[in-house]
Amino acid sequence: MGAFNRNRLFNHAPAVGRLSKKKFERECREAEKAQQSYERLDNDTNATKADVEKAKQQLNLRTHMADENKNEYAAQLQNFNGEQHKHFYVVIPQIYKQLQEMDERRTIKLSECYRGFADSERKVIPIISKCLEGMILAAKSVDERRDSQMVVDSFKSGFEPPGDFPFEDFSQHIYRTVSDGTISASKQESGKVDAKTTVGKAKGKLWLFGKKPKVRVIKFLCANNLF
């Protein structure tokens, strides 16, 4: 902002000088010419009184115009110098002073923030330390077996595992038929055997894999490497 105003002043100063100073300089030259013309006519014995009077009036006019331009140039220059003095000795110092005060207020606010942060941390540190001590004690008291057993107790279903599937011997009827044929071979001549009675007796005898076979059937199986 200060550099901008300074550039404006420096750019405005030549304009003021060129306009008023150039005009004042031109009027001074015209006044000098009028004075020289008046002096020449005044010293000329052949010049008429009217010419001398006219040259004198022209000299007075040019002198008056030069004085007016001089005053105008002096006023404008004085005004510019006053604005420049005000800019560098009043405006700029005030701006820098305001910036300084703003920076000082910022420093104060930062100081207050840091102090408040430090106070808050100082108040919280004992609480954090106590929490950390509690965490350490809790970590030391961990019982992994008890925890795992709690998980097992929480998620176990309570159902018993299924039992073994029983063996179903579908060949016992074949072996019984062979055995029955061997035993009843000697009895076919005397009479027929009651099938219902034989089956009923067989049903009453159970073995590991169903009904217990007869002794002859076991011998037959052992002889043929089937048992």
Structure confidence by residue, pLDDT tens digits, 5-56: 556 655 655 566 678 888 888 888 888 888 888 888 878 777 788 888 888 8
Dihedral of the alpha carbons of 28, 31, 33, 36, in degrees to the nearest 10: -120
Q: In whole angstroms, what is the distance from residue 56 CA to residue 190 CA?
A: 194
Closest CA to 179 of 206, 226, 214: 214
Closest CA to 176 of 207, 131, 145: 207
pLDDT value for 50: 85
pLDDT value for 151: 93
Helix/strand/coil (H/E/C) assignment for every residue in 24-69? HHHHHHHHHHHHHHHHHHHHCCCCCHHHHHHHHHHHHHHHHHHHHH
- The better pLDDT of the pair 43, 98 is held by 98
**Contact between 69 and 23 (Cβ < 8 Å):** yes
Torsion over CA: 197, 201, 204, 206 (sign): negative
Q: In whole angstroms, what is the distance from residue 76 CA to residue 48 CA?
A: 42
pLDDT value for 187: 45
Mean pLDDT rounded to a whole number for the chain: 78
Residues 59-70: pLDDT tens digits?
A: 888 888 888 888
pLDDT band of 100, cuts 50, 70, 90: very high
- The better pLDDT of the pair 74, 6 is held by 74
pLDDT value for 42: 78
Q: In whole angstroms, what is the distance from residue 174 CA to residue 185 CA?
A: 17
End-to-end C-alpha distance for the chain, whole angstroms: 117
SS3 label, residue 152? helix
- The better pLDDT of the pair 187, 131 is held by 131
Q: In whole angstroms, what is the distance from residue 167 CA to residue 2 CA?
A: 109
**Contact between 37 and 58 (Cβ < 8 Å):** yes
| Residue 190 DSSP code | T
Domains of the chain: 1-119 (1.20.1270.60)
pLDDT at 218 > cutoff 60: no
Residues 156-187: pLDDT tens digits?
A: 888 888 888 888 887 877 766 555 555 444 44
| Residue 167 DSSP code | P
pLDDT value for 127: 95
pLDDT value for 3: 59
This prediction has a pTM of: 0.41
Count CA atoms within 13 Å of residue 68 on its CB side. Answer: 7
